[in-house]
Chain A
Amino acid sequence: MSHAATGHLETSTGIDNKKLLMWLFLASDCLFFGSFIAAYLLYRDRSLVGPYPEDLFDIPFTSVSAFVLLMSSVSMVLALSAIQRGNVRGLQIWLFATAALGALFIAGQAYEFTEFYHEGLRLDTNLFGTTFYVLTGFHGAHVTIGILILLSLFIVSLRGGIQQKDSLTIELAGLYWHFVDIVWIVIFTLIYLIQP
């Protein structure tokens, strides 16, 4: 711990403690989403009453919001690249852009949930409603936490708290953000695109 103050610990593996922690957390989170996705797939086509997925899914709309989320990964990469080169201004711009794109995705999800609700799909309507809302809801919660992290980092950087030597912090936020993105690719493919 003697080097804790400088943020650079000599570790046995050479991997930073916090980075290893983040990878382990993401590995664990795979099982979390995996279990919800498994429940969705198990109950696909088992709903006794409608509305069914084919009645509600608006593939073009969700494709656009998926595209928005994917683009936020690009801006996340640009944020990290900026601070690694010592460009604090670039970091601030791309951090904010990433958070904004994430917020746009969440807005799309809120719109989608509202639409589905008005068309008669509630949490307790059928198995589709139960598994769909809980799975995509937990994903949305992950994105929301990611936005909170990005905005916190944005505010800290405005106060001069993030410099080139702190790029690991941005890298960790990026790992989380990309993971949440990848989970959406899996959900979008398995739940929206591949219809039985």
Chain B
Amino acid sequence: MASIAVPRRSALAQALKGARHAAENKSSIWSWLGTVDHKRIGVLYGVSAFFFFIVGGGEALLLRTQLARPDGNVLDADQFNRLFTMHGTTMVFLVVMPMSAAFFNLMVPLLIGARDVAFPRLNAFSYWLFLCGAIFLNASFFTGDIFNGVLGAPDGGWFGYAPLNLNRYTPGHGMDFWMLGVQILGIASLAGGFNFIVTILNMRAPGMTLFRMPVFVWMTLVTSFLIIFAMPVIAVALFELMFDRLFNANFFNPDAGANPLLWQHMFWLFGHPEVYILILPAFGIISEILPTFARKPLFGYPFVVFSGIAIGFMSWGVWVHHMYTTGLGTIANSAFGISTVLIAIPTGVKIFNWMATLAGGSIRLKAPLMFAVGTVAMFTIGGLSGVTHSMVPSDYQQQDTYYIVAHFHYVLFGGAIFALFGGIYYWFPKFTGRFMNDPWGHVHFWLMFLGFNLTFFPMHISGLLGMPRRIYTYSGDMGWDMWNLISSVGAFTIALSVSIFMVNFIISLRRGERAGADPWDGRTLEWTIPSPPPDYNFRETPQVHSLDDFWHQKYAEDANGRVVPALGGGAVEPAAEHGHEETAHSLGIHMPSPSFMPLIASLGFPCIATGLIYDYALVPVGAALILVGLFGWAMEPATEEE
């Protein structure tokens, strides 16, 4: 709306303009608070998501300590309930989703040859709103008497089933924090989803047709569509819960004739696409890593892309497999059983394509590849156990046992988390100009691989032996002791491996081996520009001629069909010499100016949420903050005049 900006003469406007200029100084804190640079927002997302990974992991360690031995007394039942609720909610909404968003932000503009996303300020808004929602959700811990072990966190599970989520069954403010916090996080995801669809469809470099896009970009596109259609559904469910809890409405109240199953239908109509929102970005990452380290094109690129799209569509037709035991009847169960079996087909197609990509390749066993291969293997195990509970009678046996816990950790930890770590090792050189230490990367991988399997494989067995999920303790005569002890030992092994990763990350950041623009001999556009990339990414908009364009610039085939280096091909943009740094300004490139409006607008949301729980007086304050932020946003020019 730059075009409708009105002349601003007021002192406030001058002050804001001054603050925007202060934010141009890249080393000041203001530059981070006002940033609209997709790379910086990506870093903010990544650091925040990793922080919450530590928080959620710490919660898991407490749970595993309690369950290590029968009749454990580390936690009481109430603390246990609150911690597993927060562990699940944190890992889904505060770790895997924002870590994926970090990669969307860091990589999508670079991979499609763009200077930034379509809406840089909306992007900043999405991050700040995510952070506000995350802090708000975790603030619930402190609403109890935390120093005496009374936690105020939600205790309804990450799924918050009705009617248990109602006031009379779950009193206290924990569930209120949960429903409002997840609502805020959903709005943040929506903002990101819109932005990335427009960016991918509209901001591609000349020649970058849809079927020349890297698979990661494709998976970002599919994920973003899933986000914009799934998030409104959970938003409605959460609003309905809000009206029930805060204003005595009857959406889930059986006494008024309501059907509490409505909650489960809406939750899983969101929840199953959500599963693919969590895993498709990971599929995209490994589809970039595998070809690079096998030095081969991705096997069956169109099949991988179309399988991803097919998964996106089919993910809307399988939600009842979370509800087989709710008594919907044999016809519903059979229909959804069939659709669930069918969705395994496109997923299987991808797994075979990844394996065929490696087959016959000239493989370099670097840390990113270790994690990518680990993802394929672990996700396959999780996928196969998933097929076992697509079968209705089999699911009746497994429902609510540790077998299910084993399954979804194999797909979400073995699949998503492994791939995200692979992505960090892979793209670290691009953003820091240094490699992460590879031998320690291998130590991290093998320890995490060992710890992961020690933790979650025995859960298949304890589950089949009948151990239910979510129990806070068990007696020693059930035959579960050994399996639980192994799981707990495994959990601490994972913690050790993550500590090694953190040390490696920090040391490599300062003293890692220098990496040039193209350290892995890559195929995609991000490797054509200096590491770390300048603000404006590409000095000149690249022209794309084929899939894996950069590879084709570097290599050609000789008469015998062998790959040989192309003469003079694959020039990368030179890094500026020290003391002669080019800026966007000196190159005549107009980049969007920093803006504080997204931050101001996003602060209004937790303000309203707190007001709804404690004091309605805060609601108009929050609404005013949002209005000020949005109007300021609409009125300030996207690029400040010089």
When the two chains form their complex, are residues A12 and B257 in contact, meaning their CB atoms are under 8 A apart?
no
Q: Hey, which chain A residues are within 8 Å of B262, CB to CB?
A: 39, 42
Q: Determine the residue in chain B with the shortest Cβ distance to A49.
A: B256
Given known A127-B250, A169-B3, contact A25–B256 (CB-CB < 8 A)? no
Given contacts A1-B591, A1-B639, 16 further A-B contacts (CB under 8 A): A2-B590, A5-B637, A13-B201, A21-B195, A28-B193, A31-B229, A35-B237, A39-B251, A47-B256, A124-B247, A124-B248, A130-B243, A134-B240, A138-B239, A161-B3, A161-B4
Q: Is B377 in contact with chain A by the CB < 8 A criterion?
A: no
Q: Is B395 in contact with chain A by the CB < 8 A criterion?
A: no
* Proximity string of chain A (163-182) to chain B, C-beta cutoff 8 Å, 1 when within and 0 when not: 00110010000000000000
When the two chains form their complex, are residues A17 and B118 in contact, meaning their CB atoms are under 8 A apart?
yes
When the two chains form their complex, are residues B232 and A28 in contact, meaning their CB atoms are under 8 A apart?
yes
Main SS at interface, chain B: helix
* Proximity string of chain A (1-29) to chain B, C-beta cutoff 8 Å, 1 when within and 0 when not: 11011010101110101001100110111
Q: Hey, which chain A residues are within 8 Å of B74, CB to CB?
A: none
How far is the CB of B353 from the nearest CB of chain A, in Å?
A: 27
What are 8 A-B interface contacts by the 8 Å CB criterion? Answer: A11-B201, A20-B197, A24-B197, A28-B231, A39-B236, A159-B6, A169-B1, A169-B4
Given known A20-B202, A28-B190, contact A5–B251 (CB-CB < 8 A)? no
Complex partner residue of B258 from A2, A13, A46, A169, CB under 8 angstroms: A46
- In the complex, A162 Cα to B6 Cα: how many Å? 10
Given known A7-B3, A39-B262, A165-B3, contact A31–B232 (CB-CB < 8 A)? yes
When the two chains form their complex, are residues A162 and B4 in contact, meaning their CB atoms are under 8 A apart?
yes
- In the complex, A17 Cα to B5 Cα: how many Å? 19
Q: Is A32 in contact with chain B by the CB < 8 A criterion?
A: yes
- In the complex, A35 Cα to B236 Cα: how many Å? 7
When the two chains form their complex, are residues B2 and A7 in contact, meaning their CB atoms are under 8 A apart?
yes
Q: Hey, which chain A residues are within 8 Å of B243, CB to CB?
A: 123, 130, 134
Q: Is A75 in contact with chain B by the CB < 8 A criterion?
A: no
Q: Is B47 in contact with chain A by the CB < 8 A criterion?
A: no
Q: Hey, which chain B residues are within 8 Å of A24, CB to CB?
A: 194, 197-198, 228
- In the complex, A46 Cα to B592 Cα: how many Å? 54
How far is the CB of A98 from the nearest CB of chain B, in Å?
A: 17
Q: Is A111 in contact with chain B by the CB < 8 A criterion?
A: no
Q: Is A110 in contact with chain B by the CB < 8 A criterion?
A: no
How far is the CB of B535 from the nearest CB of chain A, in Å?
A: 11
Q: Determine the residue in chain B with the shortest Cβ distance to A165.
A: B3
Q: Hey, which chain A residues are within 8 Å of B204, CB to CB?
A: 12
Q: Is B119 in contact with chain A by the CB < 8 A criterion?
A: yes
How far is the CB of B206 from the nearest CB of chain A, in Å?
A: 9
When the two chains form their complex, are residues A17 and B249 in contact, meaning their CB atoms are under 8 A apart?
no
Q: Is A36 in contact with chain B by the CB < 8 A criterion?
A: yes
Q: Determine the residue in chain B with the shortest Cβ distance to A45.
A: B257
How far is the CB of A82 from the nearest CB of chain B, in Å?
A: 16
Main SS at interface, chain A: helix
When the two chains form their complex, are residues A36 and B198 in contact, meaning their CB atoms are under 8 A apart?
no
Q: Is A131 in contact with chain B by the CB < 8 A criterion?
A: yes
When the two chains form their complex, are residues B247 and A123 in contact, meaning their CB atoms are under 8 A apart?
yes
Chain B contacts with A in 181-204, Cβ cutoff 8 A:
190, 193-195, 197-198, 201-204
Q: Hey, which chain A residues are within 8 Å of B338, CB to CB?
A: none
When the two chains form their complex, are residues A123 and B248 in contact, meaning their CB atoms are under 8 A apart?
yes
Q: Hey, which chain A residues are within 8 Å of B572, CB to CB?
A: none
When the two chains form their complex, are residues B592 and A17 in contact, meaning their CB atoms are under 8 A apart?
no
Chain B contacts with A in 593-638, Cβ cutoff 8 A:
631, 634, 637-638
Q: Hey, which chain B residues are within 8 Å of A159, CB to CB?
A: 6
Chain B contacts with A in 231-246, Cβ cutoff 8 A:
231-233, 235-237, 239-240, 243
Most buried by B among A43, A47, A138: A43
Q: Determine the residue in chain A with the shortest Cβ distance to B269.
A: A35
- In the complex, A16 Cα to B3 Cα: how many Å? 15
- In the complex, A17 Cα to B190 Cα: how many Å? 16
- In the complex, A172 Cα to B166 Cα: how many Å? 40
Complex partner residue of A11 from B203, B235, B240, B589, CB under 8 angstroms: B203
When the two chains form their complex, are residues A4 and B592 in contact, meaning their CB atoms are under 8 A apart?
yes
6 A-B pairs with the lowest CB-CB distances in the bound complex, closest first: A35-B236, A11-B202, A32-B232, A124-B248, A31-B232, A161-B4
When the two chains form their complex, are residues A17 and B4 in contact, meaning their CB atoms are under 8 A apart?
no
Q: Is A190 in contact with chain B by the CB < 8 A criterion?
A: no
When the two chains form their complex, are residues A134 and B239 in contact, meaning their CB atoms are under 8 A apart?
yes
- In the complex, A46 Cα to B256 Cα: how many Å? 9
Q: Is A152 in contact with chain B by the CB < 8 A criterion?
A: yes
- In the complex, A168 Cα to B64 Cα: how many Å? 57
- In the complex, A130 Cα to B566 Cα: how many Å? 69
* Proximity string of chain B (573-593) to chain A, C-beta cutoff 8 Å, 1 when within and 0 when not: 000000000000000011110
Chain B contacts with A in 91-128, Cβ cutoff 8 A:
115-116, 118-120
Q: Hey, which chain B residues are within 8 Å of A32, CB to CB?
A: 232, 235-236
- In the complex, A116 Cα to B166 Cα: how many Å? 26
Q: Is B397 in contact with chain A by the CB < 8 A criterion?
A: no
Q: Hey, which chain A residues are within 8 Å of B330, CB to CB?
A: none
When the two chains form their complex, are residues A152 and B631 in contact, meaning their CB atoms are under 8 A apart?
yes
Q: Is A48 in contact with chain B by the CB < 8 A criterion?
A: yes
Q: Hey, which chain A residues are within 8 Å of B515, CB to CB?
A: none
Q: Is A156 in contact with chain B by the CB < 8 A criterion?
A: yes
Q: Hey, which chain B residues are within 8 Å of A9, CB to CB?
A: 202
Q: Determine the residue in chain A with the shortest Cβ distance to B236.
A: A35
- In the complex, A17 Cα to B199 Cα: how many Å? 8
Given known A20-B201, A32-B232, A35-B236, contact A127–B266 (CB-CB < 8 A)? no
